[in-house]
């Protein structure tokens, strides 16, 4: 039914294209940003270079391109795709909303297409629409069912023959009984009581030919046995996923006298294959009507250990009490799971194994009944409920930022007591419903009332209703109705969680399953990610069949073409897994040769399939590998580095890591949460320049990792700086200065580092990312910092004895501060850094509930370090949602200072560097990648093959269009003026005075000559000589940065964001305060001071003293901590005065001292202060 809603001929839903992921931003966020774009068209061999606003709609850009190429208006619809991939921009979205453009680190290159010329490469076909759905045919493990059916037919035919022979000859019943046993053996060795009784009667019949009445007895006994066997076949086919059923279903016995007021009871007959038979009646002291629809019945088989005499669980099984809305009835066979147990929260229909029987099968006889579940109607019961006080409502609001699992019993009682006064302004629906005391009918009816009245402020609020805490199907249905408001691109972000909570669905026809299948038919991106998530989820033993059936449904909906792509991707992963295992198992001397031989298998694979999509990203199509660029890394797991050849020109090679031995699901989760935080920042207009690479777990202990180009580990930078590189302050600064000889480029690198470092400080602190050392921190040439390897998080640090290896809250070292402040030349940049960190921290804190929900939904995913409420509590404590923004700012500032002053971090980096140096030195022969554990990134050496000027724009200062071809065949385009070429030549003359540089064209010219055409010719000659001459000149950083550094503006921050600039020219001393006043409480936050000095001009160790005047009893003195020697100290400390009845006539006196020596002071009239705003106050040189 779902597939038929999206017929192949519907080109709106069946486009066959992969659309770029787009995020909607408020209009003002995109207003100030611009992209520089080169667009390829069929009308010219050269690209069109444009500068366009990020807020421009893609369709408007297409119109502009058509106008520039004299093709407007075009009768056909046009599309833009991202060069180097199969990804298309969405015409009705802004350029800045597309993730592929927003996160681009190089020149943005697009190609214009007419839709009529594009193939529907992944579209479903008419033949797909005609295909019939059969879950048994789609599932991989169907051979057992076919075998059962074949064997069953065979033994039934034998049984029929033996029965006929017996009735004709009347002298041998043993053969009939043996064949009856064979039937039981085929049907999971179950022998029902009816079969046992019928066999006894058959044996008891005296076989005397002369007596006619004995023949009648034999016939009656055989008929009874045949009926018993028919009932067993019917019970078997009803209990398990069999591909057969009886042509005529045996009549059920008359219904028992069971009503809703009856107690729940049933008979445990036997656990077949165990030599015990119980015909025990079990009675629960519970009325049936008191049990909710989602009740699960769990049965454990216990045994006494003969040695220890302890009672142990041997096996267990479970079943829903109301399968298909009707009370369970009749004889039921349940497969028992041996030994392993599950927590109560995991007992769901998803683990009820109905695929094939296990070695122990439990037979239970329930009373025959037709009772159906009657859903309780919504009913409001306020009684004498009093309206909550203002303080009570404030308390409820504070609770709203919490996770349901972290609420105390008292907090739950408060929320449920005031349930009718909770709304989307002061609370969250999952917290209110989750605080209900029970699941009895009366309580559920009130839950339905609250559910009906609730108005969701955000669809994401409903995610919390899909956790294991909410088994009720109506509540889950309401949650899915809200999630349907998310776009396909938004849903894509939360797919891992939605796949996990499928465990708690009541059936495979639930609203959530239908939603995911609907969206997979609308979006290839969704279908592709859902495929690999379901594929990976099959490794969870108890839910394997549950997820296999879901995957079968997805593959049926996807169509033949997309399934072929999935098949090729699976084969690629299998080959990579095999290669990785062989490389890892090989001895050191032979490892390189083993890799070389095994890579031939990949070459053969591509000869067979021609092209294949990468599991990491379906838009990336590859057509082979570059064997010489493939290698492995010398960490413990020996991951492979594979360089794939991009099938889409002009994209360069696509480099990925394939790793075995590590559970990459945890890395996937951490990177997903970081992406969510980055999206939150972007929605607030704050671009933290985050690089978040892709990672995909493709199976148990294996997966793929994207490689970020032009990135290297901090450890390698330290090693290049010598033995004590980790202890030097200027290591990072020198490395970036070497890569950016031009000042403008260097300042851009500082800016990128400034923002990205702040972002990663916040995210690694909140998520408690551990095992942070210099090999897990990377820097790109452009200045971006990012972290890798998230095998340890949520504070689960490695320990040596009782000592934690990770001692700092996060990694922010003095060498990072040294680079940001340019060696102390611009100390106020540190204050800006602290402000940026605190602002980013406070923005994320406002979305604490979303982050806690996403983690809670993954609690039962089997991740090694996210499996308890304490893990959620860790993140809650780091987010501090109960704090005000001022309190959180003060708290995070302390964490920055702790990190900055944590010397063990540097010591850890030094030890790590020394160990890795010794490992690298002792490696014989050296591995292709000599940097140990630097398994994430490719440190690509850029080199320019040629640069050619194609043309120029006739403006006041002509810009020349330069085509740059790198040695790796990547083609880019830049625009440069004649003056810029001239400056490059001057810089090269200064840096290489002894080298013979090519002659640079004269700037003067004869009148009446065609200057620009002549300059094009002269400059092309100059470039040819420069790049084909000395490699020292051609590969110099000046040349590379001139041609390859394409500055690209990303989302611009709003006016309140931090902007990096030169040091302030105002050298007067000052202090920055935020003063707030509410309900007789006066709060002052001392943020920063600037330009303060001792009388001798040295930097003070400043401490601030506050006085609230008039102060007749001299009790208002408050002091801050002392900031060690600094002229621009940062505090972010809070001073509080209670019972301040009014501000009129009150004066705040602030005195700054350094070890008793006066530094400065200021008096502030509180009645004239603008409250809740940051303001700088001048510090005077005397106390008034």
Residue 342 confidence (pLDDT):
73
Query: Quick one: tokens of 899?
Result: 């990190």
Query: Quick one: tokens of 1145?
Result: 């006539």
Residue in the block written with tokens 């059920």:
252
Confidence class for position 1062, pLDDT limits 50, 70, 90: low
399: pLDDT strictly greater than 70: yes
**Closest Cα partner for 868 from 343, 411, 412, 437?**
343
601: pLDDT strictly greater than 80: yes
Confidence class for position 210, pLDDT limits 50, 70, 90: very low
φ, ψ of residue 311 in degrees (nearest 5): -85, 130
Residue 725 confidence (pLDDT):
65
Give the separation between CA 1094 and CA 141, rounded to whole angstroms.
Answer: 80
What percent of the chain has pLDDT above 70? 90
1127-1154 mean pLDDT: 94
* 127-141, 178-192, 204-218, 1032-1046, range with the lowest pLDDT: 204-218
What's this model's pTM, rounded to 2 decimal places?
Answer: 0.88
The packing angle between helices 828-845 and 743-766, to 10°, is 40
511: pLDDT strictly greater than 80: yes
192: pLDDT strictly greater than 50: yes
- Strand 277-287 to 263-272 pairing: antiparallel
492-517 mean pLDDT: 95
Bridge partners of residue 800, in order along the sequence: 803
- Strand 87-88 to 18-19 pairing: parallel
Residue 654 confidence (pLDDT):
94
Give the separation between CA 471 and CA 466, rounded to whole angstroms.
Answer: 8
896: pLDDT strictly greater than 90: yes
Query: Quick one: tokens of 844?
Result: 């994320």
Residue 412 confidence (pLDDT):
95
Give 1007 or 58, the one with higher predicted confidence.
58
Residue 80 confidence (pLDDT):
95
- Which helix (H) or strand (E) segment holds residue 147: the answer is helix 143-169
1061: pLDDT strictly greater than 60: no
- CATH numbers and ranges of domains, the chain: 17-119 (3.10.20.90), 563-649 (3.30.1010.10), 710-922 (1.10.1070.11), 944-1044 (3.30.1520.10), 1070-1178 (2.60.40.150)
Residue 1147 burial (10 A CB sphere; 0-12, 13-18, 19+)? middle
958: pLDDT strictly greater than 90: no
374-400 mean pLDDT: 87
Q: Which tens digits make up the pLDDT trace of 258-280? A: 888 888 888 888 888 776 667 78
Q: According to the 3-state scheme, what is the secondary structure of 884-953?
A: CHHHHHHHHHHHHHHHHCCHHHHHHHHHHHHHHHHHHHHCCCCCCECCCCCCCCECCCCCEEEEEEEEEE
Residue 1127 confidence (pLDDT):
94
Q: What is the DSSP letter of 459?
A: G
Q: Which tens digits make up the pLDDT trace of 741-776? A: 888 889 999 999 999 999 999 999 999 999 888 889
Confidence class for position 1044, pLDDT limits 50, 70, 90: confident
φ, ψ of residue 80 in degrees (nearest 5): -115, 130
Confidence class for position 1051, pLDDT limits 50, 70, 90: very low
458: pLDDT strictly greater than 90: yes
Residue 135 confidence (pLDDT):
62
Query: Quick one: tokens of 1026?
Result: 């420069």
First to last CA, the chain: 83
Average pLDDT over the chain reads 87
When mean pLDDT is compared over 124-133, 220-229, 334-343, 444-453, the highest value belongs to: 444-453
1057: pLDDT strictly greater than 70: no
191: pLDDT strictly greater than 70: yes
Q: Which tens digits make up the pLDDT trace of 463-472? A: 999 999 999 9
Residue 251 confidence (pLDDT):
72
Query: Quick one: tokens of 335?
Result: 């497969």
Give the separation between CA 19 and CA 611, rounded to whole angstroms.
Answer: 20
The backbone region for 862, taken as left when phi is positive above 0, alpha when psi lies in -120 to 50, beta otherwise, is: left
Q: Which tens digits make up the pLDDT trace of 969-1003? A: 677 778 888 888 888 888 888 888 877 788 888 76
Residue 928 confidence (pLDDT):
37
Confidence class for position 915, pLDDT limits 50, 70, 90: low
φ, ψ of residue 982 in degrees (nearest 5): -65, -40
Query: Quick one: tokens of 697?
Result: 């777990």
75-96 mean pLDDT: 91
For 638-643, the CB contacts below 8 A with 24+ separation are 638/580, 638/583, 638/584, 638/591, 639/580, 639/705, 639/935, 640/576, 640/579, 640/580, 640/583, 640/595, 641/707, 641/929, 641/935, 641/938, 642/576, 642/602
Q: What is the DSSP letter of 1167?
A: G
Residue 171 confidence (pLDDT):
66
Confidence class for position 1004, pLDDT limits 50, 70, 90: low
């Amino acid at each position: 039914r779902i597939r038929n809603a999206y017929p192949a001929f519907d080109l709106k839903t069946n486009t066959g294209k992969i659309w770029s992921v787009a995020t909607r931003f408020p209009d003002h966020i995109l207003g100030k940003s611009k992209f520089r774009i080169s667009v390829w068209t069929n009308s010219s061999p050269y690209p069109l270079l444009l500068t366009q606003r990020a807020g421009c709609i893609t369709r408007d850009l297409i119109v502009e391109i058509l106008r520039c190429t004299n093709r407007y208006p075009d009768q056909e619809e046009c599309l833009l795709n991202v060069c180097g991939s199969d990804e298309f921009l969405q015409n009705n979205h802004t350029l800045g909303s597309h993730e592929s453009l927003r996160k681009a680190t190089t020149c943005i290159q697009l190609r214009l297409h007419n839709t009529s010329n594009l193939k529907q490469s992944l579209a479903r076909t008419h033949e797909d629409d005609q295909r019939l759905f059969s879950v048994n045919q789609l599932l991989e493990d169907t051979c057992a069912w076919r075998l059962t059916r074949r064997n069953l037919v065979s033994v039934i035919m034998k049984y029929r023959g033996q029965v006929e022979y017996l009735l004709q000859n009347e002298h041998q019943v043993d053969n009939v009984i043996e064949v009856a046993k064979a039937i039981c053996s085929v049907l999971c060795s179950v022998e029902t009581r009816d079969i046992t009784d019928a066999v006894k009667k058959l044996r008891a019949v005296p076989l005397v030919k002369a007596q006619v009445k004995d023949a009648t007895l034999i016939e009656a006994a055989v008929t009874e046995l045949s009926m018993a066997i028919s009932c067993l076949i019917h019970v078997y086919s009803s209990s398990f996923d069999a591909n057969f059923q009886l042509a005529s279903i045996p009549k059920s016995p008359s219904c028992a006298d069971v009503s809703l007021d009856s107690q729940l009871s049933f008979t445990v007959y036997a656990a077949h294959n165990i030599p015990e038979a119980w015909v025990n009646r079990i009675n629960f002291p519970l009325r049936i009507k008191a049990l909710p629809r989602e009740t699960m019945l769990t049965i454990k088989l216990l045994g006494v250990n003969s040695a220890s005499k302890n009672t142990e669980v041997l096996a267990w099984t479970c079943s829903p009490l109301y399968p298909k809305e009707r009370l369970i009835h009749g004889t039921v066979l349940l497969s028992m799971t041996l030994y392993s147990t599950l927590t109560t929260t995991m007992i769901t229909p998803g683990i009820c194994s109905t695929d094939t029987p296990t070695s122990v099968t439990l037979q239970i006889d329930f009373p025959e009944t037709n009772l159906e579940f009657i859903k309780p109607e919504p009913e409001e019961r306020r009684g004498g409920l009093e309206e909550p006080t203002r303080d009570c409502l404030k308390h409820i609001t504070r609770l709203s930022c919490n996770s349901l699992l972290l609420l105390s019993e008292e907090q739950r009682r408060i929320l449920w007591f005031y349930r009718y006064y909770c709304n989307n302004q002061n609370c969250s629906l999952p917290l209110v419903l989750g605080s209900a005391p029970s699941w009895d009918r009366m309580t559920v009816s009130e839950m339905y009332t609250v559910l009906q009245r609730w108005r969701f402020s955000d669809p994401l609020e409903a995610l919390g209703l899909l956790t294991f805490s909410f088994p009720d199907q109506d509540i889950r249905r309401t949650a899915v109705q809200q999630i349907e408001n998310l776009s396909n691109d938004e849903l894509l972000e939360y797919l891992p969680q939605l796949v996990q909570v499928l465990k708690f669905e009541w059936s495979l026809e639930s609203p959530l399953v239908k939603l995911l299948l609907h969206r997979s038919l609308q979006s290839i991106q969704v279908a592709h990610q859902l495929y690999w998530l379901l594929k990976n989820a099959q490794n969870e033993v108890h839910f394997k069949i549950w997820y296999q059936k879901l995957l079968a449904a997805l593959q049926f909906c996807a169509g033949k073409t997309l399934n072929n792509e999935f098949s090729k991707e699976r084969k690629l992963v299998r080959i990579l897994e095999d290669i990785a295992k062989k490389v890892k198992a090989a001895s050191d001397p032979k490892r390189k040769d083993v890799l070389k031989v095994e890579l031939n298998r990949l070459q053969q694979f591509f000869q067979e399939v021609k092209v294949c999509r990468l599991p990491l990203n379906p838009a990336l199509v590859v057509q082979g590998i570059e064997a010489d660029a493939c290698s492995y890394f010398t960490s413990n797991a020996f991951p492979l580095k594979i360089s794939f050849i991009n099938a889409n020109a002009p994209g360069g090679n696509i480099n990925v890591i394939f790793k075995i031995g590590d559970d990459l699901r945890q890395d996937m989760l951490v990177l997903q949460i970081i992406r969510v935080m980055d999206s939150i920042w972007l929605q607030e207009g704050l671009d933290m320049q985050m690089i978040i690479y892709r990672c995909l777990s493709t199976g148990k202990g294996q997966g793929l990792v994207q490689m970020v180009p032009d990135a290297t580990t901090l450890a390698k930078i330290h090693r290049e700086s010598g033995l004590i590189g980790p202890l030097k302050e200027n290591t990072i600064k020198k490395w970036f200065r070497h890569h950016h000889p031009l000042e403008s480029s260097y300042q851009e690198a500082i800016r990128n580092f400034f923002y990205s470092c702040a972002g990663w400080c916040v995210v690694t602190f909140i998520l408690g990312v551990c095992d942070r050392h210099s090999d897990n921190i990377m820097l790109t040439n452009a200045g971006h910092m990012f972290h890798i390897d998230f095998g340890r998080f949520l504070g689960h640090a490695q320990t040596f004895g009782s000592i934690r290896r990770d001692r700092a809250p996060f990694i922010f070292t003095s060498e990072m501060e040294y680079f940001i402040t340019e060696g102390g030349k611009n100390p106020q940049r540190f204050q800006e850094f602290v402000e940026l960190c605190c602002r980013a921290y406070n923005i994320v804190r406002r979305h604490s509930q979303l982050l806690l929900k996403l983690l809670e939904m993954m609690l039962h995913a089997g991740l090694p370090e996210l499996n308890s409420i304490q893990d959620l509590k860790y993140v809650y404590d780091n987010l501090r949602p109960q704090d005000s923004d001022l309190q959180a700012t003060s708290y995070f500032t302390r964490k920055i200072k702790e990190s900055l002053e944590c010397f063990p971090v540097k010591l850890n980096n030094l030890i790590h560097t020394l160990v890795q140096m010794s490992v690298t030195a002792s490696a014989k022969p050296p591995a292709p990648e000599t940097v140990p554990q630097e398994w994430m990134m490719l440190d690509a050496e850029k080199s320019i093959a040629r640069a050619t000027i194609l043309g120029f724009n006739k403006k006041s200062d002509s810009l020349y269009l330069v085509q740059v071809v790198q040695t790796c065949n990547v083609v880019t385009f830049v625009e440069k003026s004649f003056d810029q070429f001239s400056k490059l030549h001057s810089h090269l003359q200064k840096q290489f005075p002894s080298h013979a540089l090519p002659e640079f064209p004269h700037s003067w010219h004869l009148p009446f000559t065609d200057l620009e055409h002549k300059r094009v010719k002269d400059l092309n000659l100059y470039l040819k000589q420069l790049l084909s001459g000395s490699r020292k000149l051609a590969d110099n950083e000046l040349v590379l940065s001139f041609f390859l550094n394409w500055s690209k503006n990303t989302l611009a921050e709003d006016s309140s964001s931090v902007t990096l600039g030169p040091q302030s020219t105002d050298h007067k001393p000052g202090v920055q305060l935020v003063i707030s006043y509410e309900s007789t409480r006066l709060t002052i936050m001392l943020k920063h001071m600037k330009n303060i000095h001792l009388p001798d001009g040295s930097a003070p160790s400043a401490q601030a003293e506050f006085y609230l005047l008039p102060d007749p009893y001299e009790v208002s003195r408050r002091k801050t901590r002392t900031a060690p020697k600094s002229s621009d100290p940062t505090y972010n400390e809070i001073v509080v005065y209670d019972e301040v009845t009014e501000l009129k006539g009150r004066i705040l006196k602030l005195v700054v001292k350094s070890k008793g020596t006066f530094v400065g002071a200021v008096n502030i009239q509180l009645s004239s202060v603008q409250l809740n705003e940051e303001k700088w106050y001048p510090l005077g040189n005397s106390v008034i």
